[in-house]
Amino acid sequence: AAKVRGRARLAEFNDELHARAEKRVQIESDLRAALRESQLFVEYQPQVRLKDGRVVGVEALVRWRHPERGIISPADFIPVAEECGLIVKIGRQVLQESCRQLAEWTRLMPGCPLAMTVNVSPRELAEPTFIQDLRQVLASTNVDPTALCLEITESVMMSAPEEVVQVLDQIRQLGVFVAIDDFGTEHSSLSRLRDMPAEVLKIDRSFIDGLSSEPGDTAIVSSILSLAYAMGKHTIAEGVERSEQAAMLLRMGCDVAQGYFFSRPVAAEQIAPMLTRALWHPSSGRALHAAQP
Ligand code: C2E
Ligand code: MG
Ligand code: MG
Ligand code: MG
């Protein structure tokens, strides 16, 4: 009986693998169409300077308006795009569009300096034309390179073959900043971190969750902040959802934060009105939920 059950389970397992593979192939072919038919678009999430609540930057986050399935989250298609290589084209489109948008905001509001942050996959960094493409986007949109920041994940940094470090160096030479995304989730080697040409650490959302309630999380966040300070790096906390978290991060010396507490990622039109006033007041702890859906 055990054997029969085992076989049944194996068949089930095979079916599941098969279904998953089919789904992947489907997503891949739909993604090709998405690129051709401009179904991808970018939303922006404000990044707030904690000491005064002002928006100092935005993170560009790609979305997919699928003709039948509606809006698809990047978590569901970026991994497939990375596997099949389409991420290179997607990343290029996102970079171009977000730099175009940044140039527009800068033109409209010259008094509000704003930074644009764009996620970049390891697969894109490995592309021989990456630096050339980056230069081309900067030139064609006329964006100040020091207003652009590229986010790479910690896993890239830590497995970093020499070539990645070289590409990061070239990015830095252009004046573009580099941030380490989801910091703290992978095994970090401190000597690696020291040698990395990255100026910003983004503290992963999973640690912000338990800030103030989980002593362990508070300790982790506090040591990341002191490490960053000692290494002369800036810090951005991800996934701030509550006022206490923002207040605590401010007290702990974190520079900038983003999260649903301030604003979800929103369409470009909704960003402009947020640039001229504070999104929260540290003294009262109140957020001005500017564009909450
Ligand atoms: P990420 O770079 O770590 O981006 C932050 C994610 O956290 C975003 O999810 C954002 O919407 C979400 N988030 C922000 N604040 C909060 C909060 O307070 N609570 C919670 N629960 N979540 C919050 P999103 O937009 O679904 O993106 C998921 C991931 O997909 C990103 O994680 C990034 O790794 C990847 N991604 C998104 N856009 C791009 C892109 O253009 N290129 C590449 N290569 N990857 C991208
Ligand atoms: Mg990111
Ligand atoms: Mg990321
Ligand atoms: Mg992240």
Q: What pLDDT was estimated at residue 160?
A: 67
Residue 191, C-beta contacts closer than 8 angstroms, at least 6 positions apart? none
Q: What pLDDT was estimated at residue 100?
A: 98
φ, ψ dihedrals at 88, nearest 5°: -65, -45
Residue 176, C-beta contacts closer than 8 angstroms, at least 6 positions apart? 134, 138, 145, 146, 148, 149, 150
Nearest to 137 by CA among 152, 154, 161, 120: 120
- Which atom from ligand 1 is nearest to the alpha carbon of 202? 3
Q: Six-digit token pair at 11?
A: 């068949």
Place of tokens 């990456």: 130
Query: What's the 45 CA to ligand 1 centre distance in angstroms?
Result: 9
Nearest to 240 by CA among 43, 42, 45: 45
Place of tokens 């010259």: 110
List the pLDDT tens digit at each of the 293 positions of the chain: 777 788 888 888 888 888 888 888 899 999 999 999 999 999 999 999 999 999 999 999 999 999 999 999 999 999 999 999 999 999 999 999 999 999 999 999 888 889 999 999 999 999 999 999 999 999 999 999 999 999 998 777 667 678 888 999 999 999 999 999 999 887 667 777 888 889 999 999 999 999 978 888 999 999 999 999 999 999 999 999 999 999 999 999 999 999 999 999 999 999 999 999 899 988 876 776 644 44
Q: How far is CA 199 from the centre of its chain?
A: 15
Kindly give the pairing relationship between strand 256-257 and strand 286-287: unpaired
Residue having the nearest C-alpha atom to atom 46 of ligand 1: 119
**Residue 117 β-bridge partners:** 59, 149
30, amino acid identity? D
Where on the phi/psi map is residue 239: left (φ > 0), alpha (ψ -120 to 50), or beta?
left
CB 2 less than 6 A from any atom of ligand 1: no
CB 259 less than 6 A from any atom of ligand 1: yes
CB 265 less than 6 A from any atom of ligand 1: yes
Q: What pLDDT was estimated at residue 108?
A: 92
139, amino acid identity? A
Residue from 61, 208, 244 to probe ligand 1 pocket by mutation (most atoms less than 8 Å from CB): 61
Q: ipTM of this predicted complex?
A: 0.98
Query: What's the 111 CA to ligand 4 centre distance in angstroms?
Result: 29
CB 98 less than 6 A from any atom of ligand 1: no
Can you spell out the DSSP letters for 211-274?
TTT-HHHHHHHHHHHHHHHHTT-EEEE----SHHHHHHHHHHT--EE-STTT---B-HHHHGGG
Length of the chain in terms of residues written: 293
Residue having the nearest C-alpha atom to atom 43 of ligand 1: 119
Query: What's the 33 CA to ligand 2 centre distance in angstroms?
Result: 25
Residue having the nearest C-alpha atom to atom 42 of ligand 1: 119
Angle at 21 between CA 17 and CA 25, to 5 degrees: 170
3-state DSSP helix/strand/coil % of the chain, to nearest 5: 50, 20, 30
Residue 167, C-beta contacts closer than 8 angstroms, at least 6 positions apart? 125, 130, 131
Q: What pLDDT was estimated at residue 158?
A: 67
Alpha-carbon span 177 to 202, nearest angstrom: 13
CB 203 less than 6 A from any atom of ligand 1: no
Q: What pLDDT was estimated at residue 139?
A: 98
Query: What's the 35 CA to ligand 3 centre distance in angstroms?
Result: 21
Q: Is 36 exposed, middle or buried (0-12, 13-18, 19+ CB in 10 A)?
A: exposed
Which residues fall inside 5 Å of ion ligand 4, going by CB? 181-182, 238
Q: What pLDDT was estimated at residue 156?
A: 78
Q: Six-digit token pair at 110?
A: 């010259």
Q: Six-digit token pair at 22?
A: 């089919």
Query: What's the 61 CA to ligand 1 centre distance in angstroms?
Result: 6
Residue having the nearest C-alpha atom to atom 45 of ligand 1: 119
Alpha-carbon span 243 to 238, nearest angstrom: 14
Residue having the nearest C-alpha atom to atom 4 of ligand 1: 61
Query: What's the 182 CA to ligand 2 centre distance in angstroms?
Result: 7
Residue 35, C-beta contacts closer than 8 angstroms, at least 6 positions apart? 86, 89, 90, 93
Alpha-carbon span 95 to 203, nearest angstrom: 23
